[in-house]
Chain A
Amino acid sequence: MNRKAWRTWLPWVSLGVAVVAALVAAGAYVVLRAFEPPVRIALAVALVGLATFLYLEPHRVRRWLTGREARYGSNALVMSLAFVGILAALNYLVTLYPQRWDLTEDQRNTLAPEIQELLGQLETPVKAYAFYSANINRDFARETLDKFVQASDGKFTYEFVDPIVNPTLAQEYGVTRDGTVVLVMGERREQVPFLSDEEIANALARLMRPEERVVYFITGHGEGDIETLGDAGYSMLKEELTNRNFTVRTWSLPAEGRLPDDADVVVLAGPQQALTPAEQKALEDYLANGGSAIFLFNTSVEGAAEPSADLAAYLAQNWFIQVDDDVVVDTSSPQQPLIAVGIPTQRHPVTQNLAGLVVLFPVARSVRPLDGAPGTLTVQALVQTSDRAWGEMDLTAFNTSTPQGAQVAFDPDTDLAGPVPLVVVAHDTLTNARVVVIGDADFVRNGFYQAYGNGLLLLDAVDWAAGQENLISITPKPQTQRFLKPMAGQGLALLALSSICLLPGAVLIVGGVVWFRRRMRR
């Protein structure tokens, strides 16, 4: 009796155990990705269970294998498998030969021909790591990067990395901003802080044509130090320039007496002592030979000695840039009127990534473009304050040591009325020399570096001065401008009524009529 009882349940229990063990084995293999002991043990249990079942129920197995069900069942199975195999092969084929047609009016999903050409020249594979935390939307990044993947013939791939989940990788790649994309080609990498087709294409071009780009920070006159880590240092600027594949060095102008030959850009950041006439001559020669320089001038009330009258005269006469000896007072921030809030005004490579970000300049002087520049020289003011600021020419209030502090007011006769320009760039198209003059040297010190667009402005200024802003020039696509036709409150209410009620209501009425007529007929 007992013997018979176990004969009935044991086969099924062992079959059940076999199925469960097989599932466990599959699950363990998915997790471990190797044929390790847990997988092997589960597989062994599954085999033992199956063998027990086969041994105890041989008749049933034979019937399953040879009966009517088996014959039809196996026919259906083979046919289905063949069918699924054909479908799988078809799907695999189209992944090998993708075909896409962009129906949008402005070819929104298609890369510019210049970028497609660039991707065609790509020989070494490039992988993009998109550092996006869960806080920001990935749709635009995916859409943009997908275009590159599709046009690259498998050479360009990308992967999203959550910098909060995986901080080590973010640190390794020097990512400090959420939403940064890093392109990696072999050992070299290139950061794309703001995503667009053009930015990725330019980063790609820099990866494909590696050459050393050197930025020199001039020292010897009490300039800010690029190695100092505290609030007053420029170490964050150095780090981000390095992330953009710049080689950053210092150059002692008093000791060398000339400027370096391999410099792509030299930066004079807030000198406390004046340059000697010989040093200024060296600087003028460097610029005359097509060099590029970025000048960051503090105000004289902060103890800055530059620009001296000589340097100011040189900049005004040769570059048509006027550096005023004033202090910008900005009442748009009433608590801190000496922090000038700079707003990008012109579309230019230096400001194109600011995208609505302001730049904060703590204690700034005005820098203005002058009229009368020759046709070969383009001079543009790129960042200026709002019209609630002015350039205060009377500096006595700032020099006083009384604890009450400065009492200043706008005087239309002597002061410079706002909006006050703060950043001016000049480009000599004959020699390709480029000059950037900014009326403050403190806005990129570590203490202010991460405020709004501060760091970005100088990074892009260095890129532009180094002539790196557009390695590939892309003809801008024509964009169809669309706008909503104006509509008043009544129109909106009508719109709501018709879109929510009209069509669904009609369906409801027709449905009701049909239902009613059928009921009547019964």
Chain B
Amino acid sequence: MRAIWIIARREFRRYFTSPVGYLVLFLYLFILGLIVNNSLQQAYAFSLFQGAPPPNSDIIIGPMLTLLVFSIPALTMRLLAGEQAAGTLELLLTAPVRDWELIVGKWLGAFLFVLVLLALTLIYPLALHLLIEPGLDWGPVISGYLGLLLVSAALLALGVAISAMFRNQVAAFAVTLAVFLFLWMVSSLAGAGNPSEGVLRYLDFGNHFYNAFFRGVIDLQGIVYYLSVTAFGLLVGTVIIESRRWRG
């Protein structure tokens, strides 16, 4: 357990000493700021007409999932692929650290970074709260952020697993993004009446978010789904690292 924490802390710090961490933070906040500002200006333009509903937290939480899908591959690509490229993975593997501790530590480090990222974005709901009378409905904000945390955990775990497969960081980034996009679109593969439709819709990670957490609902199904994907990603990552010991 101590090993996990040491690795996580090291990874977390590395995001703040490398340009990638700041770049992701900057782009994420900048694009989100643009979108939120655009929606607000539109809302003000429309508020001249009577009966136009005021903006709610949707304008902030809606785009955040999309931005996460594109940011997380950049955060996870280095985690293990970088170690392999630099040749430091062998060093780590000879240290008194179990394989799963290594994977969980790497994942936790990235998760802590995403936690900081999400915490910084809380300024937008707070600002919106001040602009709306009698204030924002906080229910969807709470469920939305909980959903984003769960999605991040799941996507980071998949990203760590994919990073373990590669030496090349760019390849890890591309494959991670491809897998995310596939998981995002998977439900559109299912035509109506297709018996696999239910399963495919269930596998779609966007569905669980947009049909529940985004709308202000905490759904046990979504929680279990995202935690399962997290556990699955960490398992695959562990097996891949472990296999280095016995692969020829």
Contacts and interface: CB of A to CB of B under 8 A. Distances in A.
Contact of A99 (B16, B26, B220): B220
B5 interface: no
B108 to A, nearest CB: 19
A201 B225 CA distance: 31
Nearest to B47: A484
A76 B242 contact: yes
A214 B120 CA distance: 63
A87 B233 CA distance: 12
A480 B136 CA distance: 10
A4 interface: no
A108 interface: yes
B33 A161 contact: no
Interface stretch (A261-269, A433-441, A505-513): A505-513
Contact of A514 (B17, B219, B225, B228): B17
Interface string B133-173: 11001111011000000000000000000000000000000
Interface stretch (B78-86, B89-97, B176-184, B209-217): B209-217
Given A87-B228, A482-B132, A499-B33, A100 B219 contact: yes
B235 A80 contact: yes
A96 to B, nearest CB: 10
B139 A500 contact: no
A334 B136 CA distance: 46
Given A87-B231, A103-B216, A511-B26, A500 B34 contact: yes
Contacts of B131: 484-485, 487, 495
B243 A73 contact: yes
Given A73-B246, A160-B192, A500 B30 contact: yes
A297 to B, nearest CB: 34
Given A102-B216, A484-B43, A508-B22, A76 B228 contact: no
Interface in A84-98: 84, 87, 90-91, 94-95, 98
B36 interface: yes
A482 B235 contact: no
Contacts of B137: 104-106, 480, 482
A69 B242 CA distance: 12
Contact of B26 (A95, A498, A508): A508
A503 B232 contact: no
B22 A503 contact: no
A84 B232 contact: yes
A109 B216 contact: yes
A35 interface: no
Contact of A104 (B17, B120, B216, B231): B216
B67 interface: no
Nearest to A101: B218
A522 to B, nearest CB: 12
Interface residues of B, number: 63
A263 to B, nearest CB: 40
Which applies to chain B's interface (DSSP): helix, strand, loop or mixed?
helix
B239 A500 contact: no
A69 B16 contact: no
B1 interface: no
B202 interface: yes
B132 A103 contact: no
B134 A80 contact: no
Contact of A492 (B21, B23, B41): B41
Contacts of A142: 211
A507 B22 contact: yes
B124 interface: yes
Interface in A131-183: 142-143, 146, 159-161
Nearest to B31: A504
Contacts of B17: 514, 518
Interface string B60-77: 000000000000000000
B224 interface: yes
B217 A101 contact: yes
B37 interface: yes
Interface string B21-57: 1110110011001101100110110010000011110
B132 A104 contact: no
Interface residues of A, number: 53
Contacts of A492: 41, 44
Contact of A69 (B56, B215, B225, B246): B246
A83 interface: yes
A72 interface: yes
B230 to A, nearest CB: 10
A22 to B, nearest CB: 19
Given A87-B232, A484-B131, A503 B123 contact: yes
A511 B22 contact: yes
B158 to A, nearest CB: 14
Interface in A467-522: 480, 482-485, 487, 492, 495-496, 498-501, 503-504, 507-508, 510-511, 514-515, 518
A209 interface: no
A99 B17 CA distance: 43
Given A76-B239, A103-B143, A504-B29, A480 B134 contact: yes
A91 B192 contact: no
A36 to B, nearest CB: 17
B188 to A, nearest CB: 12
A492 B44 CA distance: 9
A64 to B, nearest CB: 11
Contacts of B2: none
A59 interface: no
A482 B54 contact: yes
Nearest to B198: A95
Contact of A485 (B19, B22, B123, B133): B133
A48 to B, nearest CB: 29
Contacts of A95: 202, 221
19 contacts: A87-B228, A91-B202, A91-B228, A95-B202, A99-B220, A103-B142, A103-B217, A104-B139, A142-B211, A143-B215, A480-B134, A487-B131, A503-B29, A504-B33, A507-B25, A508-B26, A511-B22, A511-B25, A511-B26
Given A68-B246, A499-B36, A511-B19, 15 more contacts: A69-B246, A72-B242, A80-B239, A87-B232, A91-B228, A98-B221, A100-B212, A104-B137, A482-B132, A482-B133, A483-B133, A499-B33, A503-B120, A511-B25, A515-B22
Interface of A: 68-69, 72-73, 76, 79-80, 83-84, 87, 90-91, 94-95, 98-106, 108-109, 142-143, 146, 159-161, 480, 482-485, 487, 492, 495-496, 498-501, 503-504, 507-508, 510-511, 514-515, 518
